[in-house]
Structure 1
């Protein structure tokens, strides 16, 4: 439960203003300054007595707080007509004259946008069905929109703020093969961050969409953030499987990025690690990219301990990332693989929609195809293969355990969803209906029941070794999913493989977990995997 605090930037001194219940696991909190810095617009949940107790962590709205006053004097601004599962993000223009509110309809990837102008009134710019996935305020009195309407890989529209009707928007970057992920306008150029099936690229355009230029970045890397500066230069954060994150600067009118002093460092070198991308054939003639990370010279002889990671949901893309603790894995001869399966956004909205609602089984089929490919290409064999996923990826792990128990030796599943018939009954479960569907819809119920891991555990089955992890403070996925799934698997298991539950009173869904707890979690994961795959440090 989040409380908003305000600090004086010059001194770091806390101001007396404090606003409770601006965020909760059901929806994050957000705030933006007004034009003269005398107050803030912020997200607010209902107070006791304003709605029934069951709704106090829903119906997020926008309120205004004047500095130096009590929060009981704050005034309503927008949101009475927003859906129960609204999630709001606020952004102010550089000059403070405009406030942009992005309203998500739960976690399914549909958004509406509202604009607060100098006249003090809100205007709705887009609706949920307009398929506008992202909006950014430019420095040229324009709003830039990322649209997926008739463009599953994205196109960019420019909308003048002096007449902000969606019908007045013009296409400046038409759809093409790259998937547009985000954009950053400067006063003279528009930078576009693309996805190429997992890795990234950056393109630069004029504000009219002309003069396309490719900005070179490291291969098989991910651009996770882009920020423009007042001198029209661009800062972007880039990370790969072999290099920790670093911020690069592209000067106005230049092409070559320059690494800045803003870099993450690693206590260990990955100079001997290499990455290649290969493709597994799944059902429906779908080619699934696999990012295969290992020590240089590793031979595909069927003997490599291999850890395959996947997610496959919400349009979230599995992009390159760096974790220095993987050095422990590589030093024991391990191969690490990330699968870009359907349900994610690696190839645009069609890729996402092919793996949600009644098509969720495609996600599991893609991941199974990835395991079979690694075995067929002799990167590993079932006795040396482990699978890992969390949250929605935990659902993926549950499906792999129940649908393909013979394909792997071990599974690590964190904060997973396993009972798909009851998930929407939990406070945060309502936000997932737009992604998974609801038992109230006959066709969606049929699909949910067909793959629900808890309901597909079969007695007297030889299940692989399993470590399920949950936190008692998880506000996004109720811990009971892991507890009941472990109990059911343990009851049904005919093999001698361990079925383990790790639970902690000092952890939740992951965000905000203390470093000490994260170290303990990693220690337990690696210990479990090393033991199950019989891995030892290479001399």
Structure 2
């Protein structure tokens, strides 16, 4: 269930292209563009927290359904796009992004029934298309999400096949919303078998044979489905051929079973259902159901102890679990279903000094160790005997090596900040890797370099950062630089190539990613060190990263931008207010910016493990109040040039966070640096965003950044 955590909004698509001769030309002065911001009404709204009165004059912007909010969005976008239209090289950036994006991209293949399936994008298609082929036959289109809607904003979010591959269920997202519809089709004919299941959210599709599947959702909330609180998640079973209204609640129907996040995993042999229930994005309980016995009842395996445990594989009476129970860096254990209590678990892959992620396939287990934010792969058998280290082509990130027990060949992809994603096949018996699908990107990795450094944060903690740029970049303090960070929810930022970074770097820009506390790069302890009353550590780590880049002469405050999305948007919002003189540009995307009220919207209450809440205690309120971006904008403050970005259909981090923060900044900003908000319509938190919109967004973001650094031409 940890896939329910907030996610960074950076798109991890592989992309690239050939390099032009031109590069940015920084100037010491820039022309200013006069801006008249829309008038944002202020109301007399005040909340009391432990004796402290806190004004919230823009509360009305939380109503995403009101006509007044809609008009405010239109007015802000008119000002923002009016400003962006004045940037002379905005179209040049858009053209270059389009050129670089335009190459064929593939996923690793997977087998279901008699077919091999894979995802492919011809280059500029808004959504990836699912293809299939039988044997060596010609590939055919299986699902084309580009035909789901005219504007490409309806995306395929999940595809799952029944046991024998004869039936497929796929989930679609409309307008970027986390609410899904699930459509069930005959895989051979591709004909829909029954009415779509609706109002499904934060869910896997876990098949039980060919009979039906388990899925999760909330009752549809009263009020706005995009912002109203969702608090009780339920696991359902849908039997094919029956109405959704008849679907049985397996877990979550009672007050005793109330959880914010519930999910089910079915063992590959269809014998067992393992149910995970969680109150926050960290920690879960476990329940076991024997599916082979019609009269079986739920068996509690473990209470929520604040640790994370999920199903990896199964073999006979053993379920193989990944857990950080008594192992902050995670381990793999075997649970005998006849004695499932944690005290009886047997360690298969022991905890090591490096954080462990794991996969399975071909009758083996695979440890994906995170070593200073990069991947090391090791193959084990189910008894925990090491088979081999799996050599990678370079230092970077590898993902994959998962499949069915019968598979003899698995696949993994490799990438880093300067290497486009490449797919390799892996023979599970011999351990041999072969190139399966080279990237079609016209990008010369040899002309770029990535360097990992370890800098010192405020309290003496060593923090890693990877800095990537063209070879031969002069360290003169004038290189336009984007510093990216996240620092939360146990999420690890590992190297990944993207079109956007390629465009930025080929223009002479520097791209730096700091692996801040709050993330998962060094295990649970690293995560905890950036949560609740220690959240300031994350901000201090980010500030120290900026200071390192300046001290090492990669850049200077006049050429430094900070960027982050979701929890990373909070990071940017907090840091730009704490050290405004350190940065020229701030780019907070879909950010959590009202730390006193975030838990009142959608699934926000589940983030309390990382943040705490303003109602938790006087001490927690005061801590949140001291850094909450919305509440720390100072009258007459001189803040960096700021482009806030959000989507009007974001039902994970509701756009009201960004609306209110932008209004507050516009009202109080002194000096000439612009404060703009770019609101993507019919878009959500980021997943499923059409390629065409991503190209426009990055062109606007990079154009805004360079323009405010004084760059007059490319």
Q: Please state which band the TM-score falls in when normalised by the shorter chain.
A: over 0.9
**In the alignment, which of 367, 370, 381 is matched to residue 195 of structure 1?**
370
1:217 aligns with 2:395: no
1:511 aligns with 2:684: no
Q: Which residue of 2 aligns with 1:451?
A: 627
Q: Which residue of 1 aligns with 2:198?
A: 20
State the structure with bigger RCO (CA 8 A, min sep 6), 1 or 2.
Answer: 2
- 1:56 positional shift: 8.1
- 1:237 positional shift: 2.7
- 1:536 positional shift: 6.7
1:41 aligns with 2:217: no
**CA distance, structure 1, for counterparts of residue 386 and residue 678 of structure 2:** 54
- 1:48 positional shift: 8.2
- 1:271 positional shift: 3.4
**CA distance, structure 1, for counterparts of residue 535 and residue 570 of structure 2:** 11
Distance 1:324 1:195, change over 3 A: same
- 1:315 positional shift: 0.5
**In the alignment, which of 269, 289, 302 is matched to residue 95 of structure 1?**
269
**CA distance, structure 2, for counterparts of residue 425 and residue 254 of structure 1:** 53
**In the alignment, which of 156, 165, 184 is matched to residue 6 of structure 1?**
184
Q: Which residue of 2 aligns with 1:105?
A: 279
1:66 aligns with 2:235: no
Q: Which residue of 1 aligns with 2:357?
A: 181
Q: Which residue of 2 aligns with 1:342?
A: 517
**In the alignment, which of 591, 602, 609 is matched to residue 427 of structure 1?**
602
- 1:232 positional shift: 4.5
- Counterparts of residues 112-191 of structure 1 (less than 5 Å): 112-117=285-290, 118-120=292-294, 121=296, 122-129=298-305, 131-184=307-360, 186-187=362-363, 189-191=364-366
**CA distance, structure 2, for counterparts of residue 123 and residue 73 of structure 1:** 24
Distance 1:269 1:15, change over 3 A: farther
Query: TM-score, normalised to structure 1's length?
Result: 0.92
Query: TM-score, normalised to structure 2's length?
Result: 0.70
1:400 aligns with 2:575: yes
- 1:20 positional shift: 1.5
Contact 1:415–1:471 at 8 Å: present in 2 too? Answer: yes
- Counterparts of residues 268-307 of structure 1 (less than 5 Å): 268-307=443-482
Contact 2:235–2:264 at 8 Å: present in 1 too? Answer: no
**In the alignment, which of 316, 337, 340 is matched to residue 491 of structure 2?**
316
After superposing the two structures, state which structure 1 stretch, 283-292 or 513-522, moved more: 513-522
**CA distance, structure 2, for counterparts of residue 47 and residue 375 of structure 1:** 50
Distance 1:478 1:231, change over 3 A: closer
1:479 aligns with 2:652: no
Q: Which residue of 2 aligns with 1:78?
A: 251
Contact 1:62–1:78 at 8 Å: present in 2 too? Answer: yes
Q: Which structure 1 residue ranges, 5 or more long, are not aligned? A: none
Residues 159-210 of structure 1 deviation map (CA, whole Å, 9 limit, x = unaligned)? 12343332221112222111012232542x3211111121111111222212
**CA distance, structure 2, for counterparts of residue 507 and residue 267 of structure 1:** 30
Residues 49-76 of structure 1 deviation map (CA, whole Å, 9 limit, x = unaligned)? 9xxx998843121222221122222222
**CA distance, structure 2, for counterparts of residue 114 and residue 537 of structure 1:** 61
Residues 281-333 of structure 1 deviation map (CA, whole Å, 9 limit, x = unaligned)? 00222111111010112232212111100011101111111112323212221
Q: Which residue of 2 aligns with 1:239?
A: 415
**CA distance, structure 1, for counterparts of residue 413 and residue 278 of structure 2:** 25
- 1:212 positional shift: 5.4
Contact 1:186–1:233 at 8 Å: present in 2 too? Answer: yes
**CA distance, structure 2, for counterparts of residue 137 and residue 417 of structure 1:** 35
Q: Which residue of 2 aligns with 1:534?
A: 710
**CA distance, structure 2, for counterparts of residue 160 and residue 408 of structure 1:** 55
Contact 2:359–2:402 at 8 Å: present in 1 too? Answer: no
**CA distance, structure 1, for counterparts of residue 317 and residue 416 of structure 2:** 35
After superposing the two structures, state which structure 1 stretch, 360-369 or 413-422, moved more: 413-422
1:462 aligns with 2:638: yes
- SS in structure 2 at match of 1:491: helix
Over aligned residues, Cα RMSD in angstroms?
Answer: 2.4
After superposing the two structures, state which structure 1 stretch, 308-317 or 236-245, moved more: 236-245
Distance 1:234 1:162, change over 3 A: farther
1:374 aligns with 2:552: no
Residues 373-412 of structure 1 deviation map (CA, whole Å, 9 limit, x = unaligned)? 0101111111111110111101001111110001111111
**CA distance, structure 1, for counterparts of residue 414 and residue 275 of structure 2:** 27
**CA distance, structure 2, for counterparts of residue 404 and residue 220 of structure 1:** 33
Residues 225-271 of structure 1 deviation map (CA, whole Å, 9 limit, x = unaligned)? 3313414544223221122223322212333422223x553254433
Distance 1:218 1:533, change over 3 A: farther
1:522 aligns with 2:698: yes
**CA distance, structure 1, for counterparts of residue 186 and residue 546 of structure 2:** 53
After superposing the two structures, state which structure 1 stretch, 385-394 or 251-260, moved more: 251-260
- 1:152 positional shift: 1.4
Paired residues in the alignment total 528
- 1:513 positional shift: 2.2
